[in-house]
């Protein structure tokens, strides 16, 4: 698995360098997919690079990628290894010139996320983990914060592009703001979760797509976070791949945040 990790680290860095160059160069081209979801030419270029390199090295592996193969079906049913790709997590940030975006690559084998890499090329922050091997930022071990009080906790969250279901999210946001120190909405789930892993955040909750959190979830777990959901996981669904009502925090805050979010209906 070390070879896979080294391959993934190098690939994330190459893709990260590409998106920096693309944004610095000719004007970005922006499109709306699904009517409300921003995608840039840099997303597509990075996706193409990542998928080509994986296909060259691992031709029989599956790829679940936000931009080129978003509908792979239930990856629990796949017997061959699966790569889960978000070429730019935080696309809206990226398109607006913010430097809070990341390349996210996860590797799944035998139903387990074995390798996770999240790279922010604007800050040169490479978050990585191998299952059972710990979590790292630029090669240095990272751990979740040891905050135990909700009243002192900084909680990250986010909101979907489709706003029709926003009302219950505002109810939950009210509960979190009333009981925690503050919230942060930074615009990249992968980086939010990696910030949790290294103690810059104390908790995180959101509903996403698998490619937004697959890599970062492993990094957070290896850094000591408890991960789960504040609503029931459908029967037969592996929780690590379930993308609704995700909750992550250190083991002391997790049950406190869970109770708060479950009660905020």
Footprint of ligand LIP on this chain (CB under 6 A)? 66, 86, 89-92, 158-161, 187-189, 206, 208, 212
User: In DSSP terms, which residues pair with 139 in a beta bridge?
Assistant: none
Sign, CA torsion 130/135/138/141: negative
Distance of closest approach, residue 243 Cβ to ligand LIP, in angstroms = 10
Q: Which is nearer to ligand LIP, 109 or 209 (CB)?
A: 209
Q: Which is nearer to ligand LIP, 98 or 111 (CB)?
A: 98
User: In DSSP terms, which residues pair with 84 in a beta bridge?
Assistant: 64, 106
Distance of closest approach, residue 159 Cβ to ligand LIP, in angstroms = 6
Q: Please give the angle made by the CA atoms of 241, 150 and 166, to the nearest 5 degrees.
A: 55
Residue with the shortest CB distance to ligand LIP: 158
Distance of closest approach, residue 91 Cβ to ligand LIP, in angstroms = 4
Q: Which is nearer to ligand LIP, 90 or 116 (CB)?
A: 90
Using an 8 Å Cβ cutoff, are 89 and 101 in contact? yes
Helices 210-222 and 189-198 sit at what angle, rounded to 10 degrees?
10
Q: Which is nearer to ligand LIP, 123 or 148 (CB)?
A: 123
How many beta carbons lie within 10 A of that of residue 75, not counting itself?
Answer: 16
Instruction: Specify the DSSP class assigned to residue 27.
Output: P
């Amino acid at each position: 698995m070390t070879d896979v990790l080294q391959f993934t680290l190098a690939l994330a860095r190459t893709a990260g360098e590409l998106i920096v160059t693309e944004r610095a160069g000719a004007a970005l081209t922006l499109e709306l997919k699904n009517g409300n979801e921003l995608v840039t030419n840099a997303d597509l270029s990075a996706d193409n690079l990542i998928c080509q390199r994986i296909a060259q090295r691992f031709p029989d592996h599956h790829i679940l990628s936000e931009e080129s193969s978003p509908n792979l079906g239930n990856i629990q049913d796949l017997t061959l290894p699966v790569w889960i790709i978000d070429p730019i997590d935080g696309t809206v940030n990226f398109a607006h010139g913010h430097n809070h975006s990341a390349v996210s690559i996860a590797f799944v084998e035998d139903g387990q996320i074995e390798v996770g890499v999240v790279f922010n090329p604007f800050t040169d922050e490479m978050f990585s983990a191998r299952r059972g091997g710990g979590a790292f930022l630029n090669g240095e071990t990272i751990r979740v914060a040891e905050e135990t009080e909700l009243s002192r906790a900084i909680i990250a969250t986010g909101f979907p592009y489709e706003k029709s279901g926003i009302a219950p999210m505002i109810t939950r946001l009210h509960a979190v703001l009333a009981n925690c120190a503050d919230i942060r909405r930074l615009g990249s789930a992968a980086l939010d979760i990696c910030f949790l892993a290294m103690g810059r955040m104390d908790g995180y909750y959101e509903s996403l797509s698998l490619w937004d959190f697959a890599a970062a979830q492993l990094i957070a777990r290896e850094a000591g976070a408890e991960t789960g959901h504040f609503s029931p996981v459908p029967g037969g669904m592996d929780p690590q791949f379930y993308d609704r009502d995700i909750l992550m925090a250190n083991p002391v805050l997790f049950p406190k945040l869970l109770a708060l979010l479950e009660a905020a209906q």
